[in-house]
């Protein structure tokens, strides 16, 4: 029809084979990329599954840090942070904050005194439309140095093999260091007396484009009072939530945000390694918690405190955890929102 003389046609069979090979290879490449041929790949699903208690996780809750209570307040920047980061959140001024005090457990009904690690999720919004989300804990350093070892730790903790933990701790001494902290560090009777640390390192980018490797902490202005775990156990399963609710009703609670700047050579890729005490610190502002709201109807319930939601002027460093946390938190969010019908949003009026 179009060309006067066609080249001789290849055999139909040969053509069909060629088509099958092209399609088959494309499908295989896609499946490979999706990890279907890589059972060893550490996927967000595997990470979140590893948190699931053997008894079955209650539906609709966060898959870790499942117990928590919402707060709202303001972050008041004093302006000094602008020397380190161009993010608007460090420009002198007040910015709305939303957050969640929480316990590092997969059980939303765990008694408060049984959970060693406490955390704070935080979101600060600025008028330029940007958000800074963070998820911090009260430990001064993390238990492991890579996401893979974290996964191995979760598996070892759930393992029935008595040697599983021993073997892992032998290979990763930082786990023992964390264990020593967990055993010896004082407990407080209030979220308001706890210090919350980013642990992960991030990069602040200032107005000149210069980069600063940093970690940050929220230091309580309320003086910490040490209480023995035995005494805490007598206070009832939800004493932390009741205490912070009462306390904030009596007056706003404050934390000072302190940014610690790394020296050249400090380990930024490993949150299990604390930086030396003498590193430069900069007080950049104050978080004021003004109101506490129960999680079911609170504004924090549907927020994923993904630590990679960062404004311009803050970015991730070579620390591999924020990426792993972002991937796993998103998976947790996808699952719990899909289970939302099992987590009634409206609490019953008749509360004890």
User: In the complex, which residues of this chain contact other proteins (CB under 8 A)?
Assistant: 1-2, 6, 9-10, 12, 15-16, 18-19, 22-23, 26-27, 29-30, 33-35, 41-44, 47, 128-131, 147, 302-304, 306, 308-309, 311-312, 316, 318, 320, 322-324, 326-328, 333-334, 337-338, 340
Nearer to other proteins, 30 or 161 (CB): 30
Nearer to other proteins, 43 or 78 (CB): 43
The residue assigned the tokens 């990329």 is 33
Nearer to other proteins, 30 or 171 (CB): 30
Tell me phi and psi for residue 15, to 5 degrees: -65, -45
The residue assigned the tokens 């040969």 is 14
Element (H, E) at 259: strand 253-261
306 and 334 Cβ atoms separated by less than 8 Å: no
- Dihedral of the alpha carbons of 267, 270, 272, 275, in degrees to the nearest 10: 20
Q: Give min distance, CB of 151 to other proteins, in A.
A: 8
Q: Give min distance, CB of 347 to other proteins, in A.
A: 16
C-alpha span between 75 and 95 (Å, rounded): 5
Nearer to other proteins, 29 or 182 (CB): 29
List CB contacts of 112: < 8 A, sequence separation 6 or more: 67, 103, 232, 235, 236, 237, 238, 239, 240, 241
Q: Give min distance, CB of 341 to other proteins, in A.
A: 8
For residue 284, give the 3-state DSSP assignment: strand
Nearer to other proteins, 84 or 244 (CB): 84
Nearer to other proteins, 50 or 77 (CB): 50
- Residue closest to 221 by CA, chosen among 251, 260, 182, 184: 251
């Amino acid at each position: 029809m179009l060309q006067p003389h066609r080249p001789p046609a290849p055999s139909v069979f040969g053509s069909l084979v060629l088509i099958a090979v092209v399609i088959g290879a494309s499908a295989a490449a896609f499946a490979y990329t999706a990890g279907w041929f890589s059972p060893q790949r550490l996927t967000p699903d595997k990470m979140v599954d590893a948190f699931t208690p053997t008894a079955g996780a209650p539906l609709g809750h966060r898959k870790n840090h499942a117990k928590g209570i919402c707060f709202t307040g303001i972050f008041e920047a004093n302006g000094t942070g602008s020397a380190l980061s161009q993010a608007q959140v460090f420009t002198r001024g007040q910015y709305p904050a939303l957050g969640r005090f929480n316990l590092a457990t997969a059980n939303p009904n765990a008694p408060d005194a049984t959970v060693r690690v406490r955390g704070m999720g935080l979101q600060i919004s600025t008028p330029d439309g940007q958000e800074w989300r963070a998820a911090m804990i009260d430990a001064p350093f993390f238990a492991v140095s890579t996401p893979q070892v974290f996964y191995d730790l979760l598996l070892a903790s759930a393992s029935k093999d008595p040697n599983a933990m021993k073997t892992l701790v032998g290979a990763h001494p930082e786990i023992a260091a964390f264990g020593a902290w967990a055993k010896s560090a004082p407990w407080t009777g209030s979220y308001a007396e706890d210090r919350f640390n980013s642990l992960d390192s991030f990069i602040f980018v200032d107005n000149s484009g210069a980069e600063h490797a940093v970690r940050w902490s929220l230091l309580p202005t309320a003086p910490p009072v040490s209480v023995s775990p035995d005494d805490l156990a007598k206070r009832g399963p939800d004493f932390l939530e009741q205490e912070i609710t009462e306390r904030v009703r009596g007056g706003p609670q404050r934390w000072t945000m302190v940014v610690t700047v790394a020296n050249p050579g400090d380990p930024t890729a490993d949150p299990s390694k604390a930086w030396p005490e003498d590193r430069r610190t900069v007080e950049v502002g104050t978080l004021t918690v003004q109101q506490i709201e129960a999680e079911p109807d609170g504004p924090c319930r549907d927020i994923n405190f993904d630590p990679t939601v960062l404004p311009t002027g803050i970015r991730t460093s070579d620390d591999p955890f924020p990426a792993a946390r972002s991937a796993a938190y998103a998976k947790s969010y996808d699952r719990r929102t899909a289970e939302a019908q099992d987590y009634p949003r409206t609490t019953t009026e008749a509360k004890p």
